[in-house]
Amino acid sequence: MQNKSLRLGEVLFEEGLIKIDQLHEALEMQKKDSRHLGKILLEKGWIDAHELIRILAAQYQLPYVPLSDVKIPAEIMNMVSYDLMQTYKIVPIDFDNNYLTIATNNPQDISALQDIQVKCGCLIKPVMSNIQDIEKIIQEYSDSLHSINAIKATGNKSIEDSPVINLVDALIRRAIKERASDIHFEPLKNTLRVRFRIDGVLYQKENISKELERNIISRVKIISGMDVAESRRPQDGRTSFVNGEMEYDIRISTLPNSNGESLVLRILSKEFAFKSLELLGMDPEERTIMNRLLSRPHGLFLVTGPTGAGKTTTLYAMLNILNKTDKNIISVEDPIEYEMEGVNQTSVNPYIDYKFSNSIRHILRHDPDIIMVGEIRDVETAQMAIRAALTGHLVISTMHTNTAVGAITRLLEMNIEPFLISSAINGVISQRLVRQLCPDCKKDYEPDKARKKVIQQVMSVKDNIILAQEAGCSKCLQTGYQGRLGVFELLNIDEDIKSLILKSADEKEISQKALSAGMKRIKVAGMHKVIQKKTTMEELLRIIAI
């Protein structure tokens, strides 16, 4: 025992993981109570648990597997009973060629390995992992097993009394923990697929038994105020969800399909709604221009981009800057995504013919200083927004165009008079969202010739440039990314641009003038974020054509 402990201590000392005086003190403590040397070092806080397991694994000549880096398929977990996992503190992680790989903290327990082998009917290959990680996975498996078994046991009882509540709540909490913006429940032929959209990308999370599908969908309909009996037409609903000290708004939509009804839950949190311009991803120059444009007492400011580009978040960031006690701010939205103190918010309602266009007419009678219009979708809304901007109001809104200059072209295509556009518009910002590299695991690398060539197509750079790439860790859920950043193309409407609008100049001519005045194309702004190691070239190319 002592020789083995001494060897462990020597290895830890040689690796620089403990000091010699710490080793001597731990060995003296071990003589008194015969505890394992590693346990003493852990209790004293002199060594990290993962480092200790790594060294022990090397001593036992076994692989060390950090379970935070492993996604265990449900079919692998189901190969070992919960009782067996709990008894021996093991977790199955892989199965190949009749060998079941199990993570354990105690590979010396030969009788346990033999018992597992007999009960599972296959050969066992042990690897070493941290006991806390093992126990965490066992607990999560126990929770999911309890929820599913309880739901099956209730059969056709009332959804209100069913443990399906726990399952739905657990999925929502998991989505919040993993920073998901949306939860997708999708009925397939033989299963109910659950996917989370995290930082704009869909990831499959669960396959739930088909027999639970109706109960889950009914539960979501109940909490969101939908008609549970109606499954032939789409429905929309809304609910709130408390997780710890945070309250979330959840927007729900249903859509009938060939296998049943799909559900999408959009998770909205004020924590992420009212961001500063800096947190949106704007650089100092962009923030300076934005603040100058927003300080103007009247005019039209547009935010453009495709669906999912973060336009609404940018509108709320602008409202946050403008929200002062001496201003009457009124918004019309579809729907109201976040409630903002100090802003009079109203929502369109097609059932009573309350649309963006006629809502502006009513808002103008309400003595506003600033008007936020959720989206300019049609000619009538565009006309009313420009009319409001020309009568002493600051109007901010969104449009679906790919470029900043494209917003002007779109207004001209709507047959809005050029002199009205020229007089009303202050600025346009076009944007996209790119995933931000995880600061805890991103790695530097020197780009190859092909990547340098892509960069040089956009901007000139040094030959010895260093970029960053994703790696993956527990904090970013092994994706390599954590959160998203805006990439912006900001058009300041100066006198030269106004003159071109008056002449109904085409998009190319206006763009050339804007570029000569200092506007950065969105691909240039994006490449700057690649060079600053905030995102990767692959991520930029996924979002923006270069």
Instruction: Convert the pLDDT of each residue in 174-215 to its tens digit.
Output: 899 889 999 999 999 999 999 999 999 999 888 888 888 988
Q: What is the mean pLDDT of residues 397-412?
A: 96
pLDDT at position 6, please? Answer: 41
pLDDT band at 80 (very low <50, low <70, confident <90, very high): confident
Instruction: Please report, for residues 40, 54, 120, 137, 356, the alpha-carbon distance to residue 129 in angstroms, rounded to integers and kept in the order given.
Output: 18, 8, 20, 12, 58
Decide if 80 is inside a domain.
no
Q: What is the mean pLDDT of residues 20-47?
A: 68
Does pLDDT of 36 surpass 80? no
Question: What number of H helices and E strands is found in the chain?
Answer: 23, 18
In this structure, the answer to whether residues 165 and 210 fall within a common structural domain is yes
In this structure, the answer to whether residues 298 and 375 fall within a common structural domain is yes
In this structure, the answer to whether residues 413 and 510 fall within a common structural domain is yes
pLDDT band at 95 (very low <50, low <70, confident <90, very high): confident
Instruction: Tell me which of 268, 300, 324 is where a domain ends.
Output: 268
Q: What is the mean pLDDT of residues 19-47?
A: 68
Does pLDDT of 396 surpass 90? yes
Decide if 425 is inside a domain.
yes
pLDDT at position 262, please? Answer: 96
In degrees and rounded to multiples of 5, residue 307 shows phi and psi of -60, 135
Can you spell out the DSSP letters for 504-541? T--HHHHHHHHHHTTPPPHHHHHHHHHHTTSS-HHHHH
Q: Is 151 left (phi over 0), alpha (psi -120 to 50) or beta?
A: alpha
Q: Residue 203's domain is classified under what CATH number?
A: 3.30.450.90
Does pLDDT of 529 surpass 60? yes
The Cα 188–Cα 206 span in angstroms is: 12
95-99, 344-348, 392-396: range with lowest mean pLDDT: 95-99
Q: How many CA atoms lie within 13 A of 164 on its CB side?
A: 27
The Cα 43–Cα 272 span in angstroms is: 38
Decide if 61 is inside a domain.
no
Does pLDDT of 530 surpass 90? yes
pLDDT band at 467 (very low <50, low <70, confident <90, very high): very high
Does pLDDT of 10 surpass 50? yes
Beta-sheet strand order (sheet of 123-128)? 90-96, 99-104, 123-128
In this structure, the answer to whether residues 279 and 247 fall within a common structural domain is no
420 or 119, which is more confident: 420
pLDDT band at 11 (very low <50, low <70, confident <90, very high): low
Collapsing DSSP to helix, strand or coil, 19 comes out as coil
The token duo for 544 is 């923006």
In this structure, the answer to whether residues 248 and 290 fall within a common structural domain is no
In this structure, the answer to whether residues 372 and 508 fall within a common structural domain is yes
Collapsing DSSP to helix, strand or coil, 178 comes out as coil
pLDDT at position 67, please? Answer: 85
Judge whether 57 and 63 are in contact, CB under 8 Å. yes
The token duo for 205 is 């999370």
In this structure, the answer to whether residues 223 and 318 fall within a common structural domain is no
Number of separate domains in the chain: 2
In this structure, the answer to whether residues 323 and 180 fall within a common structural domain is no
- Give the N- to C-terminal CA distance of the chain in Å, as an integer: 64
What's the pTM value of the predicted model, to 2 decimals?
0.70
pLDDT band at 153 (very low <50, low <70, confident <90, very high): low
Decide if 37 is inside a domain.
no
Beta strands at 235-243 and 394-399: parallel, antiparallel or unpaired: unpaired
CA 490 to chain centre: 25
Decide if 325 is inside a domain.
yes
Does pLDDT of 161 surpass 50? no
Report pLDDT digits (tens) over 515-526: 999 999 999 999
The token duo for 363 is 């808002």
Q: What is the mean pLDDT of residues 286-297?
A: 95
pLDDT band at 2 (very low <50, low <70, confident <90, very high): very low
In this structure, the answer to whether residues 287 and 353 fall within a common structural domain is yes
Does pLDDT of 160 surpass 60? no
Q: What is the mean pLDDT of residues 242-269?
A: 91
The Cα 440–Cα 479 span in angstroms is: 12
Decide if 67 is inside a domain.
no
Sequence-distant (≥ 6) Cβ neighbours of residue 265 within 8 angstroms:
172, 175, 182, 183, 185, 220, 250, 251, 252
Highest mean pLDDT among 83-97, 182-196, 344-358: 182-196
Instruction: Tell me which of 250, 268, 286 is where a domain ends.
Output: 268
Highest mean pLDDT among 43-47, 102-106, 156-160, 406-410: 406-410
User: Count of CB atoms within 10 A of residue 150's CB?
Assistant: 15
The Cα 321–Cα 352 span in angstroms is: 33
Judge whether 62 and 74 are in contact, CB under 8 Å. no
Q: What is the mean pLDDT of residues 465-493?
A: 91
In this structure, the answer to whether residues 289 and 254 fall within a common structural domain is no
Q: What is the mean pLDDT of residues 153-168?
A: 61
Q: What is the mean pLDDT of residues 298-325?
A: 95
Q: Please name which of 309, 301, 323 lies closest in space to residue 281, comparing C-alpha atoms.
A: 309
Instruction: Tell me which of 268, 294, 322 is where a domain ends.
Output: 268
CA 470 to chain centre: 16
Residue 190 DSSP symbol = S
Beta-sheet strand order (sheet of 343-347)? 343-347, 329-333, 370-373, 394-399, 299-304, 425-437, 481-492
Query: Exposure string (b/e) for 251-273, b if CB count within 10 Å is 16 or more?
Result: bbebeeeebbbbbbbbbbbeeeb
43-47, 358-362, 463-467: range with lowest mean pLDDT: 43-47
Q: What is the mean pLDDT of residues 465-477?
A: 88
The Cα 534–Cα 281 span in angstroms is: 10
The parent domain of residue 399 ranges over 274-433+487-521
User: Count of CB atoms within 10 A of residue 308's CB?
Assistant: 12
pLDDT at position 163, please? Answer: 63
In this structure, the answer to whether residues 297 and 256 fall within a common structural domain is no
Does pLDDT of 353 surpass 60? yes
Sequence-distant (≥ 6) Cβ neighbours of residue 477 within 8 angstroms:
178, 198
In this structure, the answer to whether residues 177 and 239 fall within a common structural domain is yes
pLDDT at position 522, please? Answer: 96
The Cα 413–Cα 409 span in angstroms is: 6
Residue 234 DSSP symbol = -
- Whether the bond between 439 and the residue before it is cis, its omega within 30 degrees of 0, is no
Decide if 28 is inside a domain.
no
| Long-range Cβ pairs for the range 209-214 (8 Å, 24+) | 209/148, 209/152, 211/152, 212/148, 212/151, 212/152, 212/164, 212/167, 213/187, 213/260
Please state, rounded to an integer, the average pLDDT across all residues of the chain. Answer: 87
Decide if 44 is inside a domain.
no
Collapsing DSSP to helix, strand or coil, 258 comes out as coil
Q: Residue 371's domain is classified under what CATH number?
A: 3.40.50.300
